[in-house]
Structure formats: structure tokens, C-alpha cells
């Protein structure tokens, strides 16, 4: 093919933009002295098929370097070589020998010999570096797809790992589809049957799988490289452009099933790590713009715990984040985002938290993001904890306090009753500010970080030896209780107690005010053998065990029934439109103990009861929580039509959870609540 002369090109838009007759390329590199665009035929090529030297006078506008190359088309592989001073004392880390990935790359080609270490050593690394791929994102038929947009009152999140969800041999999928976007599509019926309404995908941005201890792999994906490109190895497709289509096929299929797609996004750090890390992209383009640096300019501020911190206060970084969010909504049709270590977004250029961080307000007020779900993990690895203090009106928050306080109460810790009561009704002690809705709190007992639900009742302490860090990593205190035996047990009594504690946790999570979230595999008692930080394991330790489906069918039925109760909480509702959240917004709440209107808030209390009814609603509810190790008898409020047992975690399936139609009557004026159990009763007014 003849090589046509290149043209000046345009600084906007950033990235690689195909046009009839060629492609426009543009990057930001403020302090660069010279820039080369390098083109490749294949991902494994060590030598470019063409190098285009950009002329400063012609191809630079302000701090943007740009060029239009005729004759190129979607599918073209490319990268950048950026030359400038290497002076860490001034925060400059240019390395003109390192192939840099375009921060705006829409697709990424990963060579078979990808080598993170080569990007740390001196010398050329083109043959082992990721390469950007030109993509025409308009070439896709969405077939009328549109956002699902469930109201928060009718939302249940299900956090899952794309690869881990279907990688297990028992998934029943062809080998080629296991652990892929296409494989996830095959398991949509399971999600629909369970009753969840939104899948929260752990990171799907292209990340560095080698950012892990020696001999292990970065499985979770919290090590991003490209903020616009879906992770290539999660695709059954081998063509990078096919990865784009496969991801969108997955989104379209989930939408058709009524499921929203929420992305767990990492805008707080990148895979480049600290000063010892690789030069993959941002560091080699403009180190001072993209990262918060230490006082000596040579080191990196590490509020993420991962070696570096993205400088979200810088205009270029803010634009990158906003452009990325808009892209995933407008082009890839996702429904919302969960922001990993979101508190980092509030830090200014010195690392100090800002009262009104511009990037947070810009995300909230951006018209392209209006209507999307925005969820903050409102803390960071340096101790900044902003749960209940996050700015904005549309943001929701992962409520880590809900997790800790509910765990403490259920394991019978003293002094937990008062905190537990607040968690049941949307944490009013935390979210008491103006414009805060009950759904402000995303309630979860377990997530990817920490014990699985099964391990929470099976281990007292973490067992992370396989991570190669001397068991020093991971959460130090999971508020866990092993029910008397550390690890798996053949003792029938221990197993009965563990199963009950699991049901207790699920009942509280799914029937509390807020937005509930389940973690992948909780419904089949997935175990990580006590590892509470399994980020570096891509094995059966972290995969969904599909062969456990039938063994735990009763638990799945329990969850399904609780979600049905949550979404249809009024016994007289004919149109299924009165959710638990709708009911609680109008409810009058009365606290009880074993005697009516006499709650025990004392330090040694392990039990609580609550009744609530709403004006204009036909039903009343009474809940009893017994975290004591002996049975307790509670006085019941009078009920003209009698009480019916909706939930009793001490009973075997199917009596552990029933809908209003199925619920059986409770005889007498009192209720016996078995040790360590939760009971929910309902009555028609």
C-alpha cells in the first residue's frame, strides 16, 4: 500500500478517530520535546510497520500533538514514542524507548509475550507492550437497546467478576466461552431466577494482569491501563474489535432480560505503580499532570495503596475521567458506575480533601450522565472515610458501616444493638442531611473484598498465606465468627448454625432500608478457604462453583423469596408496585424487646424487635432479631386478622421464607424465636 503524506490533523477529539480516507490521532503531552506515532501490523511485532515523526511546528497545538494519517482504517494497531527530559527531581519521567498506550484507546491488542518487567527496564519494549487499536465505535447495531433504569427502591445489586463467574469447569460452557462476556450471557437465566436487577461488574477496563506478586496474577482487575477499552482477555473473540462487539452484545442481552449493567470503575490510580513501576502510558506522556507526586517530586503520593494516585484535580485528568464515563454510557450503553476508592477524587493537587471537589460535582451534573446510577466507595487507602459525607444529590454510597455493624450484631458482640437498629432503617445516624433518601445507603454484608458469606461463618481469622505476603495483607478484622470450629466441619450442629447465620445475614440485608447488594456465589456458599484478599488468584478459589447449584437450591429459593417480599411488600397490592422502600417511607416505627414497647438498648443486649405500619397501607410488619445463644419469647402486638410467618431463619426450607400468599399463621399472643435467628411476621389490617 502506498504511503500517503500525513496531514496536520486536529487536536480534538483525543485518541484515534477514523474518517473517510484516514485516521486522526491526538494526545496530550505538555513537556514533550518530540513525538512519534508508530504503527504495527500485529500485536507481537517488535518493529513498527511505519513511524510517523510529528513536527512541532505543524503537529502541535498548545500541549496537544496531533496528525492525520491517510490510508488507515479501523483495526490498525498503534502506539506512541514520546521524547523529553528524564528528571525525576522535577517530576519528569520521559522515556522515548517505551511504547506508550493511548489513554483514549477504544480497544487494546495484547501480545502473547506481554511483559510488565520490560516496561520497567531500560530499552525498547515494543514487542512485549500492549498496543492501541483504531476503532470505529459507530459500527454496531444496538437494535433499539435503551437503559433499563430501575428505581433504587426496586434495585438489588449483584457484584460479579466477569471471568470468575463462568470460568469454572462446572459452568457447562464450551472452553472458549468460559470466563468471557459471551459466557456471562449464557448465565443470565440464573441471575433472572435469583431475582437481582443489576449486575455490578468488577473492573472491565483493560488492566495489567501481571501487576501481582511473583508467580501470581492480578485477577480482580484493580490495575487499569486503558479507561475506554474493555479487557481483552474477557472476550471469546480474538480480534480486538470483536471484543468491543462482544461486550456490547453482553450489555444488550442483559438489558433484554431487564438487568442493569453497573461498572466498577478505577479512576484513583493506574497500573504504573510507584517510581519503580513500568512506563505504560500516562507516566511517559505527562507524569506531572496525571499523578499526585511526593514532596520530592521523584516519588508518588500513594492514597490508593497501589503505588500511585491519579491527580483528579488536574483539568486534563478530570476531562479524561468525564470522557471515559460519557463513553461507557453513550457508546457502550452501561447503566451506572461504582467508583473504587472514590474519596481520592476529592483530593486536591496537594492531596488535601476538598469540601466541594470539582470532579465529583462535574460527574453529578453532566447531562450525558443524567439518570445513570452513581455509587461511591467513599473512602481510600490512606484513611480518608467519607461515608455519610459524600457530596452531591444523586450519588449513593457503599455503606461499610452497615457491613460491620450487622456482622457484629449477628455474631453476638456486646454493645451492637443500637448500631444495628440504625442499619435496619437506612442508617439515619449517618445519612441525616438534607436531600438524603433512604436509598442513599448501599447495604452489603459481603463483597469481593473480605470474606465470602460462607467464609464469614466458617473462619475467625484470615488465611491469606497463598498470597505470598506472610498473611499480612487483607482486612485485619472481618467481624467474623466460625460458629465454634475453624474451617470446614463435619459436625452437623455446626453446619446447621452456619446455614442459619447465612440466612440471618441475607434476611437483614435484603429487608433493610437502602439498596441491597449480594456478592457472586453467596447464593451457593462459595468459599475462598478463608482467604479474604484473593485478588491474585485466578483459580477455583475465586471462580463461581456451578456444581453447587443443586446442593444449595434451598438457599437460592430463600434469596428469591426475600427479593419477592422486598418488591411486593403490601399484602393487598395487586399490581406489584409497592416495594418495601415505598412502604417504609410512610411507616411509623415502634421498637420492642421481649415485651412490647420495652426495647433493651443495654450494652449486654443481644435481641431487638420492631413493628411498623404505614398510613394508607394495608399491612403491618413485626420483626424479631435474636442474636442470643438461647431461645427467647417475645410478646406480639395485637393483630385483628392474626399474624403470619413470612420469614423464620430457624426453620427448614420452604418454611424459612414465604410470600404473603404462602405465609402460615402464628398461634397465640407470644412468639418463640430460636437462638441466633430472625423472624418476620406480617398481618393484614
Position 282 in a domain = no
Domain with 92 in it: what CATH number? Answer: 2.60.40.10
- Residue 2 is predicted with a pLDDT of 58
SS3 of 589-616: the string is EEEECCCCCCCCCCCCCCEEEEEEEECC
Position 518 in a domain = no
> Domains in the chain: how many in total?
2
3-class secondary structure, 382: coil
Name the phi and psi angles at 289, rounded to 5. -80, -40
Which residues pair with residue 342 across a beta bridge? none
Position 622 in a domain = yes
Full residue range of the structural domain in which residue 25 is found? 15-133
Check: CB of residue 7 under 8 Å from CB of residue 20.
no
**Among 478, 496, 477, 648, which Cα is nearest to 561's?**
648
Q: Which of 200, 335, 377, 455 is catalytic?
A: 377
- Residue 617 is predicted with a pLDDT of 62
3-class secondary structure, 317: helix
Query: In this predicted model, what pLDDT tens digit does every residue of 235-265 receive, in sequence order?
Result: 999 999 999 999 999 999 999 999 999 999 9
- Residue 653 is predicted with a pLDDT of 96
Position 599 in a domain = yes
Give the separation between CA 659 and CA 662, rounded to whole angstroms: 5
Q: Which of the listed residues 100, 133, 166 is the one where a domain comes to its end?
A: 133
- Residue 437 is predicted with a pLDDT of 61
Query: Who's near 282: CB < 8 A, 6+ residues apart?
Result: 103, 270, 272, 290, 291
- Residue 676 is predicted with a pLDDT of 98
Which residues pair with residue 340 across a beta bridge? none
Name the phi and psi angles at 398, rounded to 5. -60, 125
Known catalytic membership, residue 143: no
Give the separation between CA 114 and CA 312, rounded to whole angstroms: 29
Cell 449477628, residue?
410
CB atoms closer than 10 angstroms to residue 263: 23
Position 244 in a domain = no
The whole-model pTM stands at 0.97
- Residue 576 is predicted with a pLDDT of 52
- Residue 438 is predicted with a pLDDT of 59
The residue ranges of the chain whose pLDDT is under 70 are 1-2, 433-438, 570-578, 615-618
Give the separation between CA 420 and CA 402, rounded to whole angstroms: 8
- Residue 584 is predicted with a pLDDT of 76
3-class secondary structure, 80: strand
Position 248 in a domain = no
Give me 561's grid cell: 423469596
Position 97 in a domain = yes
Known catalytic membership, residue 272: no
**Among 11, 13, 53, which Cα is nearest to 35's?**
53
Angle of CA points 364, 369, 371, to nearest 5°: 90
Give the separation between CA 264 and CA 610, rounded to whole angstroms: 35
Position 187 in a domain = no
Q: Which of the listed residues 81, 104, 133 is the one where a domain comes to its end?
A: 133
Q: Which of the listed residues 133, 154, 176 is the one where a domain comes to its end?
A: 133
3-class secondary structure, 589: strand
Buried b (16+ CB within 10 A) or exposed e, 449-484: bbbbbbbbbbbeebbbebbeeeeebbeeebbbbbbe
Cell 483493560, residue?
206
Q: Which of 340, 437, 449, 648 is catalytic?
A: 340
Query: In this predicted model, what pLDDT tens digit does every residue of 279-314 receive, in sequence order?
Result: 999 999 999 999 999 999 999 999 999 999 999 999
Domain with 647 in it: what CATH number? Answer: 2.60.40.1180
- Residue 572 is predicted with a pLDDT of 57
Amino acid at each position: 500500500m502506498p504511503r500517503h503524506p500525513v496531514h496536520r490533523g486536529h487536536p480534538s477529539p483525543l485518541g484515534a478517530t477514523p474518517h473517510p480516507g484516514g485516521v486522526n490521532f491526538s494526545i496530550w503531552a505538555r513537556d514533550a520535546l518530540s513525538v512519534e506515532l508508530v504503527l504495527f501490523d500485529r500485536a507481537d511485532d517488535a518493529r513498527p510497520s511505519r513511524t510517523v515523526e510529528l513536527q512541532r511546528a505543524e503537529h502541535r497545538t498548545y500541549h496537544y500533538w496531533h496528525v492525520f494519517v491517510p490510508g488507515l482504517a479501523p483495526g490498525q494497531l498503534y502506539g506512541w514514542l514520546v521524547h523529553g527530559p528524564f528528571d525525576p527531581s522535577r517530576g519528569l519521567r520521559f522515556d522515548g524507548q517505551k511504547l506508550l498506550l493511548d489513554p483514549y484507546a477504544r480497544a487494546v491488542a495484547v501480545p502473547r509475550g506481554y511483559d510488565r518487567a520490560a516496561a520497567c527496564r531500560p530499552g525498547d519494549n515494543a514487542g512485549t507492550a500492549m498496543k492501541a487499536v483504531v476503532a470505529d465505535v459507530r459500527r454496531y447495531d444496538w437494535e433499539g437497546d435503551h437503559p433499563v433504569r430501575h428505581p433504587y427502591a426496586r434495585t438489588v445489586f449483584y457484584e460479579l467478576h466477569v471471568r470468575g463467574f463462568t470460568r469454572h469447569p462446572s459452568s457447562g460452557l464450551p472452553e472458549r466461552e468460559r470466563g468471557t462476556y459471551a459466557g456471562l450471557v449464557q448465565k443470565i437465566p440464573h441471575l433472572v431466577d435469583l431475582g437481582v436487577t443489576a449486575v455490578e461488574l468488577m473492573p472491565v477496563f483493560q488492566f495489567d494482569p501481571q501487576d501481582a506478586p511473583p508467580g501470581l496474577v492480578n485477577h480482580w482487575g484493580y490495575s487499569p491501563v486503558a479507561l475506554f477499552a474493555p479487557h481483552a482477555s474477557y472476550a471469546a473473540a480474538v480480534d480486538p474489535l470483536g471484543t468491543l462487539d462482544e461486550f456490547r452484545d453482553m450489555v444488550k442481552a442483559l438489558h433484554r432480560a431487564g438487568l442493569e449493567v453497573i461498572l466498577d470503575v478505577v479512576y484513583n490510580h493506574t497500573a504504573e505503580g510507584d517510581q519503580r513501576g513500568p512506563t505504560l502510558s500516562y507516566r511517559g506522556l505527562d507524569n506531572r499532570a496525571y499523578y499526585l507526586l511526593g514532596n520530592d517530586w521523584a516519588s508518588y503520593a500513594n492514597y490508593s495503596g497501589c503505588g500511585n494516585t491519579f491527580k483528579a484535580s488536574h483539568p486534563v485528568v478530570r476531562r479524561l475521567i468525564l470522557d471515559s464515563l460519557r463513553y461507557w454510557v453513550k457508546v457502550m450503553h452501561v447503566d451506572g458506575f461504582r467508583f473504587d476508592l472514590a474519596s481520592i477524587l476529592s483530593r486536591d493537587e496537594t492531596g488535601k480533601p476538598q469540601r466541594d471537589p470539582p470532579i465529583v460535582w462535574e460527574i453529578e451534573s453532566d447531562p450525558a450522565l443524567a439518570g445513570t446510577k452513581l455509587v461511591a466507595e467513599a473512602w481510600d487507602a490512606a484513611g480518608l472515610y467519607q461515608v455519610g459525607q459524600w457530596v452531591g444529590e444523586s450519588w449513593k454510597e457503599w455503606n461499610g458501616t452497615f457491613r460491620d455493624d450487622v456482622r457484629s450484631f449477628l455474631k453476638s458482640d456486646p454493645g451492637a444493638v443500637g448500631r444495628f437498629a440504625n442499619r435496619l432503617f437506612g442508617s439515619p445516624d449517618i445519612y441525616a442531611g438534607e436531600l438524603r433518601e433512604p436509598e442513599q445507603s448501599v447495604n452489603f454484608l459481603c463483597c469481593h473484598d473480605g470474606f465470602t458469606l460462607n467464609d464469614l461463618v466458617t473462619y475467625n481469622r484470615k488465611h491469606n498465606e497463598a498470597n505470598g505476603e506472610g498473611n499480612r495483607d487483607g482486612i485485619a478484622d472481618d467481624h467474623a465468627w466460625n460458629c465454634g470450629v475453624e474451617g470446614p466441619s463435619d459436625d452437623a450442629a455446626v453446619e446447621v448454625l452456619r446455614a442459619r447465620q447465612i440466612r440471618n445475614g441475607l434476611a437483614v440485608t435484603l429487608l433493610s432500608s437502602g439498596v441491597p447488594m449480594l456478592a457472586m456465589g453467596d447464593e451457593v456458599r462459595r468459599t475462598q478457604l478463608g482467604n479474604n484478599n484473593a485478588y491474585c488468584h485466578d483459580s477455583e478459589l475465586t471462580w463461581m462453583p456451578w456444581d453447587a447449584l443443586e446442593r444449595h437450591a434451598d438457599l437460592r429459593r430463600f434469596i428469591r423469596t426475600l427479593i419477592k417480599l422486598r418488591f411486593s411488600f403490601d399484602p393487598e397490592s395487586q399490581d406489584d408496585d409497592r416495594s418495601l422502600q415505598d412502604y417504609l417511607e410512610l411507616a411509623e416505627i415502634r421498637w420492642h424487646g421481649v415485651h412490647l414497647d420495652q426495647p433493651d438498648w443495654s450494652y449486654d443486649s443481644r435481641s431487638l424487635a420492631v413493628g411498623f405500619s404505614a398510613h394508607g397501607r394495608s399491612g403491618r410488619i413485626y420483626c424479631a432479631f435474636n442474636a442470643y445463644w438461647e431461645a427467647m419469647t417475645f410478646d406480639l402486638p395485637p393483630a385483628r386478622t392474626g399474624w403470619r410467618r413470612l420469614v423464620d431463619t430457624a426453620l427448614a426450607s420452604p418454611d424459612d421464607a414465604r410470600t404473603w400468599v404462602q405465609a402460615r399463621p402464628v398461634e397465640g399472643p407470644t412468639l418463640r424465636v430460636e437462638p441466633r435467628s430472625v423472624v418476620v411476621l406480617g398481618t393484614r389490617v
